[in-house]
Every structure is written in structure tokens, then in C-alpha cells.
């Protein structure tokens, strides 16, 4: 009962089809797509008759299969692919059926089909990442100058802007986009080396066959098509898991910052949503729930695959099953996670007034680093740190307020005026605004087919150098 309820809740979010990428019908068709490509490639190389390849290709359509026969055959053979092969042989008839699945093995078809579906899923994932980045870019630009408290170890650190915080999220998302592309290039590969990966049945024409199958399927190919190489699939799943981690980070900050004690960030309320059956005032972070839940489940899947990738010898059935089922599960979880993340950042509500109010909770002590550096110019940085630390501790323990204590230090009156100006937002907070606008622009222009490389993303170094130039000249 509970699982049905939660499934219905999950279905309220549009995963853009990621939940059905590995639906039985889709898997069946992907396996047939591989068999079709193999037959056509073999005919081109003269390994099987061209007319037989044409008949095989014409019958590689899941709609032509007899589901009753498939089920009966599975009940008899207990094999993951033989029922499909037998049905395709029947559809093709003699003599053409005799060339179905020529010189290849089960895992060749299943793993290649699995990666073909994963590649298709990646296109949808790329679209989600682009949309998330576009939303984040909008927030970064809009809030480049929106002051808030920077926090380390859950405590006030130094002032930042909300746009700077979003710029950090953007940079991690750009890392994820790059990582997914490179990991996908390694994982989305055809593997057609036969029984153990050395083309024992086809011989010298094997590599040419695999290359042509890869061309027909729009995939890469394994340099050595070993059935025991699983680390590339782990690589892709790990890339997805790191993307989930960034989404988790964003969700966690909104999740916590939306509490009444913070009140800084809030999920956009979904029309008609109810937070509690007994507390009518509750507006709960339901998008955050799903992001955090699916992220944690994804971490477990990635760890499981990493723990099994080492299995010995040329193939291992238990590990194959684990990878096949886990990758399908991972893509489904990513669909729910990304749909919620896109909704979260797209409808994010930013309470700038509350951010400013929280910034002032320390009565100026959040500017202690600035005070230390100013004092360091005349007293030395270490001694400046000691003096400001004593003032801050005294204020925290009920002594004079921070700014009053600071005014008693050498040059303290002027220092107090400078900090009061900063509290009014009249001075920059490092390069927060510059980072926000730079990364906001990158995110708004993001294209999954042409994303900015790390060198371009570091372009803000030029801005910093230009800002420092007048100081150096002085």
C-alpha cells in the first residue's frame, strides 16, 4: 500500500521518459536493434548472405514477436536471450534464420543493448542539466549583489552574495556535464567479441564487424571487447551519482534554509499541495524530499557496482545481472531526481530581506576578517587576529557589542565606520558579484553539445587581474 502511494506521488513529476527507458518493450527493441546491426554489418563483410541479413533486419521489430511464445520459451530455457533468438529465427524462417546471432554471444547483445538505452537516456539527462543550469544562471545574475551570510561549519563566516552561492552550484553542474560526456564516451560502446572477447568464432574480421556495428548504432566500440571490463559502466554511474550529489547539495541547502529559523530560501509552492494531515500550517519541502531520497539510493547503487566490478575470469553471470538491473534502476532514480531539481531551482523563492536580516545577527562580527586584515596593515596579521578574536569572544560572552569593542582598538573608530558601511552594503564582498555574473552568463548560454571548457570557466581570473591592476600601480 505504501509503495503504491509513493509511486503515485513520484508520478506527479515529469521525468521526461527516463522512468520507462528500460521498460520491457524498450529493452526488447534495443536487443533487436543490436541483432539487426550485427546482421547488416556481417552481410557487408561477407560473413552471412545479404538476403538473409535483409530478412533478419526486417524482422527485428518487437511488434512482430509473439509474447506467449517468448514466455513459454523462457519458462523452458531459463535463459535471458534464447527466447528472443528462437522467436527471431522462427520469424525469419529457413534458411535465413540460421544466420541469426551469428558468431556472437548473449552478453554481447545484452550489454550493447543496455548501453544503447543508456546513451538514449543520457540525451534526456543532458536536457535536464541544461534546464537546471539555465535556471541557476538566472538566479546568479539576478542576485549577484544580494547580500547574505556565508557559512562554514553551519556558522557565520564572511558575507557573500546569493549569486556567488549559485555560481558555485553552476561550476559543479558544469563539472558534471563534462564528466558525463567523457564517462559516456567510455561507457556507450559496442562489445561484440564473442564468447570471451577475442572473436573466437569470427576471427580476423571481428574488429571490422564491431566497428561497423558501432557505426550503425551510433556508438563507440571497445578496443578489446572483453566481457569482464565493467569499470566503464561504473564510471558512467559514478558520473550520474556525482550529478545527484550536486542536486542533493542544492536541495539540502534549500531544505534547511527554508526552516523558520533561517527563512532565506523556499521551494515554490505547488498549487494544491498539502504539507500535513494534522498541521494545516505546514508547507513542506516536498521537492527536497525526493531529491535527497533518490540521491541516497543512488549512492548505494554506485557503491554496489564498484564492489562487484572486480569479479574474476572472462565473465560472471551474477555480476552481469547486477549491472543490468542496477543501471536500469539508476536511470529511473535520476529521472525522479532531475525532475524535482529542475522544479526546485526553476521555482526557487529567494527572501533577500531575510538574508539581510540574518546577516546582521552577529552585529558586525561577521566582518571580523576585514577588521583583522585592516589591523594587520599596522599591527601585523597575527596580532590583528588576536585583538579581533578577543573583541568577538567578549561580545559573544555578554561584554561590549562587537563594534563597540572594535572601536577601542588602534584606529578602531575609523574601522568601525568602514564596517558599518559594509553592513549597509556599500562595499564589495571580494569577487562575489563578479563570479555571480560570470558564471550566470555561462549557465544561461549553456549548450549540452558545446559546454564551456574549464579554461573558459576560469575567465574570471582576467577580471580579478584587471581589478588588481590599479592597486599594483598605486
Write out the chain's pLDDT in tens, 474 residues: 344 444 445 556 899 999 999 999 999 999 999 999 999 999 999 999 999 999 999 999 999 999 999 999 999 999 999 999 999 999 999 999 999 999 999 999 999 999 999 999 999 999 999 999 999 999 999 999 999 999 999 999 999 999 999 999 999 999 999 999 999 999 999 999 999 999 999 999 999 999 999 999 999 999 999 999 999 999 999 999 999 999 999 999 999 999 889 999 998 876 667 666 676 666 778 898 899 999 999 999 999 988 888 888 888 888 888 888 999 999 999 999 999 999 999 999 999 999 999 999 999 999 989 889 988 888 888 988 999 899 989 989 999 999 998 889 999 899 999 999 998 888 888 999 999 999 999 999 999 888 777 777 776 655 555 555 555 544
Q: Are residues 248 and 391 in the same domain?
A: no
**Can you tell me the distance from the alpha carbon of 451 to that of 439, in angstroms, rounded to the nearest whole number?**
12
Pair 296, 262 in one domain:
yes
Q: Could you tell me if 173 and 288 lie in one domain?
A: yes
Cα separation, 169 vs 252, in Å, equals: 12
Q: Does 375 reside within a domain?
A: yes
Quick one: pLDDT at residue 276? 62
Residues 340 and 265 in one domain: yes
CATH of the domain at 146: 1.20.200.10
Per-residue confidence (pLDDT) for residue 461, from 0 to 100 = 56
Do 371 and 234 share a structural domain? no
- Residue 133 Cα distances to 119, 136, 165, 173, 441, angstroms: 21, 5, 14, 7, 10
The crossing angle, in degrees rounded to 10, of helices 24-44 and 106-142 is 120
DSSP codes, 418-453: HHHHHHTT-S--TTHHHHHHHHHHHHHT--TTSPPP
Q: Can the peptide bond before residue 353 be classed as cis, meaning omega within 30 degrees of 0? A: no
Nearest 5°: phi and psi at 161? -115, 155
In-domain check, residue 200: no
pLDDT score for 5: 46
Domain boundary among 358, 385, 400: 358
Domain hosting residue 354, numbered range:
106-191+225-358
Same domain, 339 and 415: no
Residue 135 corresponds to which cell in the numbers above?
535556471
Residues 175, 144 share a domain:
yes
| pLDDT for the residue 424 | 87
- What is the grid cell recorded at 275? 504539507
Residues 161 and 235 in one domain: yes
Is residue 111 situated within a structural domain?
A: yes
Angle between helices 432-444 and 460-473 (to 10 degrees): 150
390 with 349, same domain? no
Number of domains in the chain: 2
Tell me, what's the pLDDT at 334? 96
317 and 402 fall within a common domain: no
Which pTM does this prediction carry? 0.91
* Domain end position, chosen among 341, 358, 375: 358
Provide the pLDDT for residue 279.
Answer: 67
Per-residue pLDDT, 278: 73
Cβ atoms within 10 Å of 377's Cβ, excluding its own:
10
* Confidence (pLDDT) at 335: 96
CA 84 – CA 93 distance, rounded (Å): 14
Choose the final residue of a domain: 305, 330, 358.
358
Give the alpha-carbon dihedral of 350, 351, 356, 357, to 10 degrees.
-150
Residues 402, 340 share a domain? no
Looking at the fold, whether 269 and 140 belong to one and the same domain comes out as yes
Q: What is the pLDDT of residue 464?
A: 54
And the C-alpha cell for 339? Answer: 525532475
Amino acid at each position: 500500500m505504501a509503495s503504491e502511494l509513493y509511486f503515485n506521488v513520484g508520478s506527479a513529476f515529469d521525468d521526461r521518459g527516463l522512468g520507462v527507458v528500460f521498460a520491457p518493450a524498450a529493452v526488447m527493441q534495443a536487443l533487436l536493434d543490436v541483432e539487426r546491426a550485427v546482421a547488416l554489418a556481417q552481410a557487408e563483410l561477407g560473413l552471412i548472405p545479404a538476403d538473409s541479413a535483409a530478412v533478419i533486419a526486417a524482422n527485428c521489430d518487437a511488434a512482430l514477436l509473439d509474447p506467449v511464445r517468448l514466455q513459454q520459451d523462457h519458462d523452458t530455457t531459463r535463459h535471458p536471450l534464447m527466447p528472443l533468438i528462437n522467436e527471431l529465427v522462427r520469424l525469419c524462417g529457413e534458411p535465413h534464420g540460421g544466420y541469426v546471432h551469428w558468431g556472437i554471444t548473449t552478453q554481447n547483445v545484452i550489454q550493447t543493448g543496455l548501453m544503447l538505452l543508456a546513451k538514449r537516456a543520457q540525451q534526456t539527462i543532458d536536457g535536464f542539466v541544461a534546464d537546471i543550469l539555465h535556471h541557476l544562471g538566472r538566479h546568479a545574475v539576478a542576485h549577484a549583489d544580494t547580500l547574505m551570510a556565508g557559512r562554514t561549519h553551519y556558522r557565520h563566516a564572511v558575507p557573500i552574495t546569493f549569486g556567488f552561492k549559485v555560481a558555485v552550484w553552476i561550476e559543479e553542474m558544469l563539472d558534471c556535464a563534462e564528466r558525463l560526456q567523457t564517462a559516456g564516451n567510455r561507457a556507450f560502446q559496442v562489445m561484440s567479441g564473442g564468447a570471451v572477447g577475442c572473436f573466437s568464432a569470427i576471427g580476423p574480421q571481428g574488429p571490422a564487424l564491431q566497428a561497423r556495428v558501432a557505426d550503425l548504432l551510433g556508438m563507440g566500440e571497445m578496443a578489446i571487447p572483453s566481457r569482464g571490463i565493467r569499470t566503464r559502466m561504473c564510471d558512467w554511474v559514478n558520473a550520474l551519482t556525482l550529478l545527484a550529489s550536486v542536486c542533493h547539495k542544492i536541495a539540502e541547502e534549500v531544505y534547511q534554509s527554508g526552516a523558520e529559523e533561517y527563512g532565506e530560501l523556499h521551494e515554490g509552492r505547488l498549487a494544491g499541495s498539502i504539507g500535513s494531515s494534522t498541521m494545516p500550517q505546514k508547507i513542506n519541502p516536498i521537492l527536497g524530499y525526493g531529491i535527497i531520497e533518490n540521491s541516497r539510493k543512488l549512492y548505494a547503487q554506485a557503491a554496489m557496482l564498484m564492489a562487484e566490478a572486480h569479479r574474476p575470469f572472462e565473465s560472471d553471470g551474477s555480476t552481469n545481472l547486477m549491472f543490468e538491473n542496477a543501471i536500469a534502476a539508476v536511470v529511473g532514480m535520476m529521472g525522479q531526481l532531475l525532475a524535482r531539481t529542475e522544479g526546485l531551482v526553476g521555482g526557487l523563492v529567494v527572501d533577500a530581506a531575510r538574508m539581510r536580516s540574518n546577516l546582521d545577527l552577529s552585529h558586525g562580527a561577521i566582518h571580523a576578517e576585514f577588521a583583522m586584515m585592516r589591523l594587520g596593515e599596522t599591527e601585523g596579521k597575527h596580532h590583528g587576529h588576536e585583538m579581533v578574536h578577543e573583541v568577538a569572544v567578549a561580545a559573544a560572552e555578554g561584554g561590549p557589542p562587537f563594534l563597540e569593542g572594535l572601536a577601542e582598538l588602534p584606529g578602531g573608530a575609523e574601522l568601525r565606520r568602514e564596517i558599518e558601511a559594509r553592513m549597509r552594503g556599500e562595499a564589495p564582498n571580494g569577487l562575489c558579484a563578479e563570479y555571480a555574473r560570470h558564471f550566470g552568463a555561462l549557465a544561461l548560454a549553456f549548450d549540452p553539445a558545446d559546454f564551456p571548457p574549464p579554461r573558459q570557466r576560469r575567465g574570471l581570473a582576467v577580471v580579478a587581474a584587471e581589478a588588481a591592476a590599479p592597486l599594483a600601480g598605486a
